[in-house]
Amino acid sequence: MASQNAYGGRLPGLFGSPDTSSFTEFLGGYSPDALPGRRVLPESGAGAGEIPHGTTIVAVTFPGGVVMAGDRRATAGHVIAQRDIEKVFPADEFSAIAIAGTAGIGLELTRLFQVELEHYEKREGRTLSIEGKANRLASMVRGNLGMAMQGLAVVPLFAGYDEMEDRGRIFSYDPAGGRYEERDFYTIGSGSPFARGSLKKLWRPDLSAADAALVCVQALYDAADDDSATGGPDLPRGIFPVVASVTADGYRRLGEDEVGAMARSVVEERYEAPGGPTAPLR
């Protein structure tokens, strides 16, 4: 029911049902969003394209571990915001986390996740199981749901070495915090459909750690070939993907020289076969 003012007039939309058109008339034609000092929020995620976003991440299992890699490009709409951003990080000694989506939120989530795992280890005197780590990350992603609904979503990819089962495991997430274990390999980000197609051709269950890293670099190249938001190897600037492996020996980021040599070999091979290596038909 609408209220009465001191003169018996109705104040539409203030204390009764919200009637924004009547409220605008009451204000003499001014929209509430046009009031002095009022900050206008973007509608349905509008403007989110102006915020730097990370793109493609790939993860590949091999006997005894997992390799995770990410390209280095961050985009703001159709503009390259940064050419050498890092999206793959150690979560703790035996796990890795990578981000795609809103870069600022993703980096903050990563730092907080690292601190929480370290705090748990110091408090309990032992590390969380890989299932426990994956579950904790899911709750952190769920905590960002409000921002995700406004277009500021961040979706991580988590992978690690399972000491109990002596194998690498990969976990993916959705913006609502859903957690899913993936088999063999997985990709996230804008270039993920193209990277996943490449991995389907190249992944084998008997890959070595070095071959798994090479497969990741090939997949990122294929993603960059078809997705403008994914950055390929930048040979003139010496900017190459971040590639890391997690095994029983712990987290190891491959050196720039090692990744650079792989990236250069991939680029040179593409002169002869632009579509990349092919899988045997039989």
List active site positions: 55
Give the total residue count for the chain.
282
- Select from 121, 125, 71 the least CA-distant residue to 95: 121
Helix axes 209-226, 192-202, angle to 10 degrees: 140
Q: Could you report how far apart the first and last alpha carbons of the chain are, in Å?
A: 75
Q: What would you report as the CA-atom Rg of the chain, rounded to the nearest whole angstrom? A: 24
Whose tokens are 């001014």? That residue is: 30
3-state helix, strand, coil in the chain (%, to 5): 35, 25, 40
Q: How far is CA 135 from CA 107, 111, 132, 185, 272, in A?
A: 19, 17, 5, 19, 45
Q: In angstroms, rounded to a whole number, what is the distance separating the alpha carbons of residues 210 and 262?
A: 10
